[in-house]
Amino acid sequence: MITTSSKLFYGLGAVSVTAAIVWTIANDGGALGAVALVFIGIASIFLGAIASYVRDGHVLSTDTAQHDSAPAAQRGPGRSWFPLGTALSLGMVVVGLVTSPGIFKVGIALLLAMLGEWLIQNWSDRASADAGYNERVRGWVVHPLEIPIGGALLLGAIVLSFSRIFLALSAEAGPIVFAILGALVLFFGSVLSIRRGVSRGVVGALCGIVLVALSGVGIATALSGERQELTVASAEDHYAVHPCGEEAEEYDGSAGRAVSAKSSVAATVTLKDGVLYAEMDGFSGPLSSITLQRSLNADILFQNEDAGMHRMIVTYGKTVEDLGGGVKKETVLQTCTAMIGQGGAQQIVVRIPKPSFASDVPYTITASGIEGASIEVMVP
């Protein structure tokens, strides 16, 4: 009996055999293609024979009791994306092998995940004759992993995209762009929330579009690179403490942005009209001497109200290293802020391990380029 599906396989078999003959004639007896086509033909005819034998799995029209209970009458398992995912991740592994270890590692991880998912899917599809129950069984096993990992990956993609966009935008444009985006999100969110009958599909589609757009812009901005000042700052090791005498383009040029805390500091030091003075909570008025605790990370905020670029320098003694042969090397202990323009501020952390009476020379805070301006630092 030639059934519907067996016709397809018989036809495919016949075409394959014909093609094998044509291939042989056309290629002067070339064997490889002919063998392949003959095997395809044989396999197709074999599958056609099986389909004929089982009558396409159909139930006899007279056997009405089988119409509902026969396996062929049950809803088959749904489409699975995992074979495709496995193939793609395998491709990624191969590409990673010849290009980048990172891609290779991601490919391996994806491959393992896809194989695992495929395995569990396959197992759950055979758990019972009830497809709905099988789907629930699969969920019990994989959802505790799928949902948190998927959520974390989604969140990571969003954060990464945002960060790339921020790094590419200028410092001035960033807040404006994201204020507008935030307002748009709020607006559309409000509109959706007050409209009745908005389907989950519409909301899901909107979120998907936004996510794709965000990821796309994130990838585009990541490829275009960080803004210039960040590239320079990175080359200068950002705002790491630099030697007090050296000047660096970004570190000294844009130091005002480095202030992270302006309250609860140990002292605020201000340079104004060529005079350096300190203010400390608990003391009224400007101070010409301050006391800092020993071995304490004390935050000192420097404000430049003077014209020109200045840096604050804290000098707290010196170390003497015996190099042997009567040669000694003295190193002055100093820490300093970057060069600050008028109106700028920067905070540094000062940790002084020795009391001031251990030094012959008083510990001081001075400002570069200002002669005579000094604050005494006492360390008990």
Partner 1 sequence: MKKMMNQLGESMKTARRWQNASKAAIAVSALSFLASCAKDAPQDTWQPAGPNAERIDNLQRPVFYVAGIVGVIVFAAVAWVIFRYRDRGQAIPEQTHGKPALEIVLTVIPVLILLGVAIPTAGTIFKLAKTSDTEMTINVTGQQWWWEYDYPAAGSNAEQYGITAPIVTSGQLVIPENTKVLLRVTSRDVIHSYWIPKLNGKKDSVPGRVHLLRMEGSKPGIYAGQCTEFCGLSHAYMRMEAVVLSRADYDKWVANQLEPYKAPEAGTEAAAGEALFIQQCSRCHQVNGLANPDGSLIISAPDQYLVSGAAPNLTNLMTRNTFAGASWDLLTPECRDNVWNASSAYFGERYLDGVSADCLNQKDLREWLRNAPAKKPMYADPTKLTTTGGKYRGMPALGLTEDQINTIIAYLLERK
The residue ranges that bind partner 1 (CB under 8 A) are 261, 264-266, 280-285, 287, 289-291, 293-297, 299, 349, 351, 353-355, 357-358, 378-380
- In the complex, least distance from residue 286 CB atom to partner 1, rounded to whole angstroms: 10
Decide whether 102 or 285 has the Cβ nearer to partner 1: 285
DSSP 3-state of 197: coil
Q: How near is the Cβ of 300 to partner 1 at its closest, in Å?
A: 11
DSSP string, 86-139: HHHHHHHHHHHHHS-HHHHHHHHHHHHHHHHHHHHHHHHHTS-S-HHHHHHHHH
Collapsed DSSP state (helix, strand, coil) of residue 52: helix
- Closest distance of CB 277 from partner 1, Å: 12
Q: Decide whether 248 or 298 has the Cβ nearer to partner 1.
A: 298
Tokens of 60: 């006899």
Q: Residue 28 and residue 38: Cα distance in Å, rounded?
A: 16
Choice between 134 and 268, CB closer to partner 1:
268
Angle made by CA atoms 81, 91, 135, in degrees to the nearest 5? 15
Instruction: Enumerate the β-bridge partners of residue 279.
Output: 268
Which tokens in the block code for residue 374? 């000094």
> What gap in Å lies between CA 342 and CA 21, rounded to an integer?
89
> In whole angstroms, how close is the CB of 332 to partner 1 at the nearest point?
17
Q: Which is nearer to partner 1, 161 or 356 (CB)?
A: 356
Q: How far is the CB of 263 from partner 1 (least distance, A)?
A: 8
Q: How far is the CB of 172 from partner 1 (least distance, A)?
A: 30
Say how far apart CA 158 and CA 203 lie, in whole Å: 18
The closest of 263, 254, 280 to 337, measured between CA atoms, is 254
d(CA 117, CA 58) in angstroms, rounded, equals: 31
Nearest approach in angstroms of CB 298 to partner 1 is 8
- For partner 1, the closer of residues 206 and 296 by Cβ is 296
| Amino acid residing at 293 | Q
Residue with smaller CB distance to partner 1, 165 or 292: 292
The DSSP string of 61-74 is TT-TTHHHHSGGGS
Classify residue 337 by its DSSP letter: -
Nearer to partner 1, 193 or 264 (CB): 264
CB 268 within 8 A of CB 278: yes
Compare residues 160 and 287 and give the one whose CB is closer to partner 1: 287
Q: How far is the CB of 289 from partner 1 (least distance, A)?
A: 6
Is 38 within 8 Å of 20 (Cβ atoms)? yes
